[in-house]
Each structure stands twice: as structure tokens, then as C-alpha cells.
Amino acid sequence: MLCNKALHRSHGITAAAAYTRVASRTLMTAAPRKSRPTCMAYGATSVSVFSARRRGLATHATSEPQNIAVIGGGITGLTTAHFLAKSVPVGTKITVYEASDRIGGWLDTQKVEFEQNGQKSVVQFERGPRTLRSYARDTWKMDDLVLFTLLNDLDIMPSFRPGGTRYVRIDGNITAVTPKNMIKLLWKPMLRGFWRMKRNRLGTFADRSDQRLPKDMSVGEFLRMAAGESRTVDQFASAVLHGIWGGDIDRLSMQSVMPKPWHNYWLKEPLPHLAHLPAHELALVTQLLTEEVRDMVKLSHQGALIAFPEGMGSIPKAIAKSLQDKPNVEIKLGQSISKVEFDSAARKVMLSTADGASPAAYDKVISTINSKHLFRLAPKHLPAARPFDEPNGTKMFVLMKGTYAEEDAKAKVREILHDHLGIDPDERCIMLARTNKDCIPQHHVGHRELMARADGELSAAFNGQLAVAGPSYSAVGVVGSMRSGYDMATQVTDPGKGRGRRHGSRSLPRRREAASRRPARAAGGRQADP
């Protein structure tokens, strides 16, 4: 039966197998060609594959027309529907259910009119993510390819710009995050930690190369284990993780939150100009790195931040318009799903809506809503489940943890801005406040192990015909959600392409394939900038 704790705690459905072995046969090694010694994240690379790939997925693919439902009209659901519509057999019907009266989920651009010096003006606010930020040079993520493929499909051209200065508050002092300041602030603890980490790793790889990765641990526990106790390092790491995940470093899973340093710590260091690359990322490169996408990757060199003239909300609007132009796709707004059941006799997944209409039968249902909401819908016998024309001014985005009434939140923000930046609390401004509950699902320690158990239980309960995708089950962030939607659409329509894919959407491990070698090119990855 489906793990109640798994779904209720907003953990994800994922098989642990892709990250359980640390030998080079389960991770790929990528080496830039000597003639083009560019960064692996953006340059042409020659990749050798030594991977025991996973074959098959718990989703049932078929060449016959199907009736498919997608629960959720956020960025994950829309991306899933978009890529499904591109490749499903002729005659397949796709229905997207969205409980609210708008699509886009957390991507919500709002324009506010106001009067200044007798002139009426309009200011554009982002109620959710404001920009996308690339971490391509620091990670092996290839999620950018999904974003760029989607933008190319929709004929959207983003703008790229360098990121601004960031600040952290440590011991009551606001410090700019610059190389000079970070070296001055963290030099001693980082130096001690570096030598401690090297000492911990010396002579240990031979003993661990053929074993499974150690038990999952929190980010805080990993840092202390690898680099020793340091209050300054703890504060810095906590500030960074709160900004991205809005979570506690002593509860967030190292495997889920920081997979690259987690694997690099336990794996033997590669030869010069080489880097470890998971099999699923190479598979994505071979599928999506077209000439058009390659051109957009080159444009992304202009800056780490990506924005859109009409705001982040323009992405879901463009996807929805594209879907509505397709005769086999229907988007139902204001249709809240009240129950999800499996009819074993008809071998269909039945969806009931809150308006009391008769249940609709589907061959395949993909849920992209928060796992807590899915738990409430599942049967009770599953206990386990643009700004150039704006007036002059400064826009600030304050992210606070906790629940506040709207007026209390505004008062608290004024207090914080006065305390940190000396801004007069009585200064006239436009202020919007909203509680974004569950916008960043927390992947705590044990996330992968818990989800691996829930995966099989969910598959057994719905005969593999109910699948899940989204940040409750994979990486958080806008493009992480897009990647999850792409993965799920690919698994449904072409299981062969799903081999070796990262488990951003639920899957079941099956028999291993023989190791293979294959050349490819690599690009970068991107996540939401909170």
C-alpha cells in the first residue's frame, strides 16, 4: 500500500536505484576535446558512457490512441501536456484539469496601476519566481535543454543578463557575497575543512567503490562530517539553503538538495579535464541538443539570469495558447478533482470532480499537484501516498518563512527593511503580500528511500496507470518542474527514451542493460531564482 507518510510529507516518488551505486559504471565521465577546452557545461564534449542503465518504467506506453488526463495546470502540468501533445498517437485525447480560474501555478505576473506626480503608471510584479538562474557551471544538470526546447517550440526569446550582487547577514553584519569577502570570512574554516575532507577521503575509495552509497544524511550533517564543526560555515550554508529551499540544513536531504557534491565526495576524483556525469543527463543531451537549442545555449553566455519582457507568467500563457490550438487537447479551468480511484474491471483510472459530475475514465492519469493534495484524493485504503516602461523606483522581493496575515506581513517587511537597509518604515510604496503555502516542498533526510517504497505501492494500487511529476517528487524550481514534465511525457509516449533518465518522475527499476559507449554534447542546467 502507498506510504501515507511519503505523500503527506510532500516527499517525492522516485526510485533510489539511479543514485545507489558509486562506481564509474553508473556515472558517466565527460571530457572536453583538447582542441576545444571549454567548460563542460556549455562546450562541445566527448562523453564516454559506462553505465548500467535502468530499462523500462512503471508507466504503460502504447502506440494505440489513449485518453490521458493531467491533474494540475501549473508549469509541470502544462509542460507535460505540451510534450505529450507533440508525440502521442493520432486520436489520443489530452485533458488538463486546473482547480483555479487561471493557469500557471506559482508563475504569476501581476500588473498594478498607481498614480505618481499626477501621472498614471503600471508596475509589473512577480508573485512567484522572478527570474531563472543558471547553475550550469557548478552542476551537471542539463535541465536548460528542456527550457530552451520549450521556448523554441513556443517561439519565445528570453533576455539573459548577469546576476547582481548578493548579500548574507552573518553575526549581525550584512556582507556582500564577493570572492574577496568570502575568502576573508571563510578562509580559516574552509582551509581546515578542505584538509579534513581530503584526509577523510584518502585511502577510502578502494573500500567503497563497489558498495552502495552511505545512508542519506542532512546537508548540515554532511558539511560537519566532511569539513568539521564551524559556526560560520553553518551560518553561510544555512543562508544559502534558506534562499533556495526555504528549509533547515539539518533536515534537508543532501542526496536530493546537493547531489553533485554528495556523489563527488564518495567517488574517486576523475582525471584532469574529466567530470562525472549521470547517465540520465547524457540521455537528455542526445534527445534535445538540436541546432536551435544549441544556438540558445550560446546566447545564455550573456548572463546567468534569464527573464522575459512580459514576466514569468508569459511562459504558462504561451503554453496554454499552444495547447488550446490543438484539437485533441482540452484545458478545464475551475475543475477541482475530488477523488482518484482505479476501476479494476474496466482497467481505467476514474476522476471525480467537485461539481458532482459523473466520474471520467482515463487510460492514464498524471498528477502534477502537491503530494499532500494527492494523498487527500487517493483512496483511504492507500495509507502510505518586462519593466522598461515602468516608472523609476526600486522593487524588492522579501521571502519570509512562516505564516502571517497580510497586514502583519507588510509591517514585518517594513521592519526588516528598516533594520537591514535603513529604509524609513513610513516611506510611500506599493506593497503586495501573499502566503505561498507548500510552494517549495521539503525533501528531508531519507527522501529517496521513502519514495522508492511509495513508488511500488502507488504502481501496484493503480496498475501503473497513475503517475506523478513535479517538485514534490523531483527537484524544486521552474525548470526542474519543466524537466519533470518532459520526463513524464517521454516515459508515456516513448519508453525507450526513458532509459537511464533521472527519476524526476516516478519510475520502477527493472533489469539492467549492458554497458555502452556513446559520444554526445553537453549543455547546462537552470533552476528558479527565489
Q: What is the pLDDT of residues 176-195, one digit of tens each?
A: 777 666 666 655 555 555 55
Return mean pLDDT, the chain: 72
Q: Assess whether pLDDT exceeds 90 at residue 22.
A: no
Q: Assess whether pLDDT exceeds 70 at residue 152.
A: yes
DSSP assignment of 262-322 equals: HHHHHSPPPPTT-EEEEHHHHHHHHHH--HHHHHHHHHGGG-SEEE-TT-TTHHHHHHHHH
Which distant-in-sequence residues (6+ apart) come within 8 Å of 7 by Cβ? 371, 372, 374, 375, 378, 384, 385, 454
Crossing angle of helices 231-244 and 219-227, rounded to 10°: 150
What pLDDT shows up at residue 315?
Answer: 94
What pLDDT shows up at residue 102?
Answer: 93
- Among all chains, which residue has been given the C-alpha cell 567503490? 209
Which distant-in-sequence residues (6+ apart) come within 8 Å of 361 by Cβ? 67, 343, 346, 348, 349, 350
* Ordered domains of the chain (ranges, CATH): 4-156+257-507+516-529 (3.50.50.60)
What pLDDT shows up at residue 347?
Answer: 92
For 246-278, what is the HEC assignment? CCCCCCEEHHHHCHHHHHHHHCCCCCCCCEEEE
What does the pLDDT average to over 262-267?
78
Whole-prediction pTM: 0.64
What pLDDT shows up at residue 451?
Answer: 73
Digit-coded pLDDT (tens) for 120-140: 888 888 888 888 876 555 556
Number of C-alpha atoms within 13 angstroms, CB side, residue 34? 1
What pLDDT shows up at residue 188?
Answer: 57
Digit-coded pLDDT (tens) for 301-343: 888 788 888 899 999 999 999 999 999 999 999 999 999 999 9
What does the pLDDT average to over 230-246?
74
Q: Which three cell numbers stand for residue 516?
A: 555502452
What does the pLDDT average to over 364-387?
74
What does the pLDDT average to over 234-260?
79
Confidence of residue 62 (pLDDT cuts 50, 70, 90): low
* Backbone dihedral angles phi then psi of residue 136, each to the nearest 5 degrees: -60, -35
Task: Name which residue leads in pLDDT, 97 or 172.
Answer: 97
What pLDDT shows up at residue 155?
Answer: 93
Q: Assess whether pLDDT exceeds 70 at residue 524.
A: no
Q: Which three cell numbers stand for residue 100?
A: 483555479
**Which H or E run includes 82?**
helix 75-87
Confidence of residue 212 (pLDDT cuts 50, 70, 90): low
Confidence of residue 234 (pLDDT cuts 50, 70, 90): confident
Q: Assess whether pLDDT exceeds 60 at residue 345.
A: yes
Which distant-in-sequence residues (6+ apart) come within 8 Å of 197 by Cβ? 226, 227, 265
What pLDDT shows up at residue 317?
Answer: 95
Which range has the worst mean pLDDT, 202-216, 369-383, 448-462, 467-481? 202-216
Q: Which residues on neighbouring strands pair with residue 332, listed in sequence order?
A: 97
CA distance 235 to 171: 9
